[in-house]
Amino acid sequence: MSKKLIFKEDIESLVKKAALDFDVYFPARDSSGDCQFVRFSEEKKNLPKLCLDYDNLIIPPKSIFFPQIERMFTFKKGMAVENTQPHHLLPKLIFGIRACDLRGLQFSDVFFKRNFADKYYLGRIKNRLTVLVGCTKPLRENKCFCVSAKTGPFLEKDFDLQFTDLGRSYFVEAGSKEGERFLKKYKNFFKDSGKEDSLLTVEIKKKASESITLRVDFFGAIKKLMKGGLPQENYQRIGERCIYCAGCLYVCPTCTCFNVFDYKDGRLRNWDACIFEGYTREASTHNPRVEKWQRTARRYEHKLKYDYQTTGMSGCVGCGRCLESCPVNIGISKFIQEITENKKIM
Ligand code: SF4
Ligand code: SF4
């Protein structure tokens, strides 16, 4: 696979050029200084400043493919008319995604075609191309644990293009045929790399991994849960403390719960959360998970056990957002530490 260089001053022109062929999304600072993915074509006249060295991205890029709220169809003259524009026609280019978030998208790709094909989501990912920019320092100090989950800070495979920050330039690796095609198509922006660039990249990746200091026994926790459920007390203690705000779920790159509801003009779906009591309440009013601890158990066991059993992928990618967003300091990394280190952390 090809290895190239791109100078930082050429990135903005590359993005603008690529926007002729792709529906481009990239991280840019908002008015509060936070970075969010923005869509280039909406901002054509005034390109917001690209921000590839961001140290935090509160909302994961799942929202590009799985919007917080979307119309599924509209009622017209008593008939349901499909929403024919649930996605933009051009393939999407996600420029500047982090390794853990790419793993999150790949998990969602599997989820949305696992039991039935979700045309809304799958329509949006068609011909998607991702440019991963590896983290050279942890995005969330003492909160992210991608090294333990084997989801970052760089990937060995399953990416289209991977960028490593070398200072003035990025080292660019192609990891798929689509990535190779991109390099070829926009070849004027990329330069040949030398052996010293490859060596420096190896060194930078090594240092980046070492800088992720939060290490947990991620696969030990999966193994433990696979062997059987945990005692109820483990979940009860977390459930008593959790205020069930769902912040941790909405910001989680792999959480995909949604609810569907009709209004007078059509049908919508929006993000939901499995820890809400109403999520599993049935029409008969029976609720199989009426107790808080049962919903807590479901959340953790789903991510670390059932997802792994059914897809071979964990429903947690170690991004640390849940711990960062929780007002009462609960996070899946702490849960993993508690069950693998046999000590009370939360
Ligand atoms: S469970 Fe927490 S650490 Fe894991 S992917 Fe979701 S937000 Fe990130
Ligand atoms: S963010 Fe914290 S308090 Fe809110 S639902 Fe998640 S674990 Fe509970």
DSSP three-state, residue 43: helix
Q: What is the pTM of this model?
A: 0.95
What are the pLDDT digits (tens) for 38-72?
Answer: 998 655 666 678 899 887 788 999 999 999 999 99
What are the pLDDT digits (tens) for 181-232?
Answer: 999 999 999 999 999 999 999 999 999 999 999 999 999 999 999 998 789 9
CA of 36 to the centre of ligand 1 (A): 18
Find out whether the beta carbon of 304 lies less than 6 Å from any atom of ligand 1.
no
- Are the CB atoms for 255 and 261 separated by under 8 Å? no
How high is the mean pLDDT of the chain? 92
Domain endpoint, select from 167, 190, 211 = 211
- Are the CB atoms for 297 and 335 separated by under 8 Å? no
Residue 286 and residue 190 in one domain: no
For the chain, how many structural domains are there in total?
2
Cα 144 to Cα 126: distance, rounded to the nearest angstrom = 30
pLDDT of 40:
84
**Cis, peptide link before residue 138, omega less than 30° from 0:** no
Find out whether the beta carbon of 316 lies less than 6 Å from any atom of ligand 1.
yes
CA of 316 to the centre of ligand 1 (A): 5
Residue 115 and residue 245 in one domain: no
Find out whether the beta carbon of 273 lies less than 6 Å from any atom of ligand 1.
no
Q: At residue 88, does pLDDT exceed 80?
A: no
- Number of C-beta neighbours around residue 335 at 10 A: 26
Q: What is the mean pLDDT of residues 237-242?
A: 94
CA distances from 99 to 139, 142, 162, 222 (A): 11, 17, 9, 21
CA of 238 to the centre of ligand 2 (A): 9
DSSP three-state, residue 281: coil
Residue 228 and residue 205 in one domain: no
What are the pLDDT digits (tens) for 111-163?
Answer: 999 989 999 999 999 999 999 999 998 888 899 999 999 999 999 999 999 99
pLDDT of 44:
60
Domain endpoint, select from 178, 211, 244 = 211
Q: Is 346 inside any structural domain?
A: no
What are the pLDDT digits (tens) for 311-346?
Answer: 999 999 999 999 999 999 999 999 999 999 988 888
Q: Is 52 inside any structural domain?
A: yes
**Mutation pick for ligand 2 pocket among 244, 274, 302, 332 (CB with most ligand atoms within 8 Å):** 244
Cα 322 to Cα 80: distance, rounded to the nearest angstrom = 38
Which residues partner with 259 through β-bridges? 270
Domain containing residue 295: 218-341
Q: What's the angle, vertex CA 74, arms to CA 72 and CA 79, rounded to 5? A: 120
Find out whether the beta carbon of 240 lies less than 6 Å from any atom of ligand 2.
no
Residue 198 and residue 332 in one domain: no
